Structure 1
């Protein structure tokens, strides 16, 4: 489906905010509750946050719940939820086993899977940019346990094309230019409290303004059982950089708003920056 054939009526989307735990089943139960709430608010597409299914005590803990691509309890949960509620689900991220080009038993792929309302998988994106941060007592290096992806991913939704990205990807605008003309960019995330307070909203609004599209960001938000604190502030931003909806506090919840093709057309018509690009 191309944007020329996208539906013109507003399309309702939701971002889920979570405070995930080291217990997979507890996280899936909470995600199921929030998906049902979003569907009850009329959402037709639901975005989960990065690591929605698991936030372990140690980075290596995710290796114990990794799944083989194509089957596993987390993948079945996402497909079943999409089918049950008749919504598109963009499944935050889950750890997939590295099998190609050679197996890597010490690392996983941090993967986003997309399921349509029939529960059929429609897209897959493996996170490209891996977070590394050192400040005081905070220390993160995703490359120790995650193998980076390499392929940009865009899929067709009823309202237009959707570009997939994850968390730290947000700091690399060249990734979003590679997506081409999209109606929506999604950013499932687990921004730390430190980096989120400093840069989260600024980066999200910048990506919306420079690509003249909507940005939907689902975040982890709160103090986790492993001691990590995440920033939250899940939100939907329109092509002019205005915040359509936002969760202003920590804790689980749902942010719901509409993708309006007319708004995209209006912004691009009045300030045709997308058409004026010279360097590609």
Structure 2
């Protein structure tokens, strides 16, 4: 059965400094040699910046996107995280799924964090994105999406893993951890939540609390907060499928149609 070696990168990001963040990530990842998937925080190249007019770049000119493609190739792994992207006269908080062969899939953040005026600076995405890797189907999500279970509902086990990349401040760390576990339990899936640490340019503190959680809601990776780390865990498809057979709550789920 399929396995997926997944690397969580809980980074202390430098505020609005794309070059330095990419350089630091190169240093943090230099010992990662046997991973299938490397997961970075939301807006890993800038921090949660509301200045896309200065920080966002077109996809084909983005230094952060180019770095992701290079990192994916050098580590022979998919690299994913979100960056600020300029496109069609708008800005998007875009999650990139960069493959080692140079191809990419993208997801534009659907739920924009209005308490930080994100909805006034970035355009809303309107499509879910499910990708495949090593026999796993994976749903891509960004930060505030985590609070909206209808958007994330795993109808008929459409996906096996949900990834949520985030800049989630420490005053709400309990909600972050609880929601990650809830999404895993209710959707019968693994959940990978990767957050940053340190302080940003708005003096907001981030405790990290990056987690790899199984379909029971149990943490497979749960490091001490407030420190950067790079950790790799292995998840299996067979145990997930066995649990879904033994505890098939998805067969009793309410049916609905989501209109975007």
- Matched with 2:14 is 21
Structure 2 unaligned segments of length 5 or more: list them. Answer: none
How many Å separate the matches in 1 of 2:184 and 2:216? 7
Q: Do the aligned partners of 2:3 and 2:134 also contact (CA within 8 Å) in 1?
A: no
Q: So what's the TM-score if we normalise by structure 2? A: 0.91
Structure 1 unaligned segments of length 5 or more: list them. Answer: 1-7, 134-139
**1:63 and 2:53 equivalent?**
yes
Matches of residues 86-105 of structure 1 in structure 2 within 5 Å?
A: 86-90=76-80, 92-99=81-88, 103-104=89-90
**1:211 and 2:187 equivalent?**
yes
How many Å separate the matches in 2 of 1:28 and 1:48? 11
How many Å separate the matches in 2 of 1:59 and 1:115? 24
Distance apart, 1:158 and its partner CA: 1.5
| 1:132 alignment partner, one of 114, 124, 137 | 114
Distance apart, 1:274 and its partner CA: 1.6
Q: So what's the TM-score if we normalise by structure 1? A: 0.85
Distance apart, 1:247 and its partner CA: 2.2
How many Å separate the matches in 2 of 1:69 and 1:83? 18
| 2:100 alignment partner, one of 114, 117, 120 | 117
How many Å separate the matches in 1 of 2:67 and 2:97? 12
Distance apart, 1:241 and its partner CA: 0.7
Query: Which runs of 4 or more aligned residues in structure 1 lie more than 4 Å from their structure 2 counterparts after TM superposition?
Result: none
- Matched with 2:145 is 169
Distance apart, 1:77 and its partner CA: 0.4
How many Å separate the matches in 2 of 1:65 and 1:264? 40
Distance apart, 1:225 and its partner CA: 4.9
Q: The residue matched to 1:70 in structure 2 has which SS?
A: helix
Give the number of aligned pairs: 254
Distance apart, 1:194 and its partner CA: 1.2
The alignment's C-alpha RMSD in Å is 1.7
Matches of residues 204-243 of structure 1 in structure 2 within 5 Å?
A: 204-243=180-219
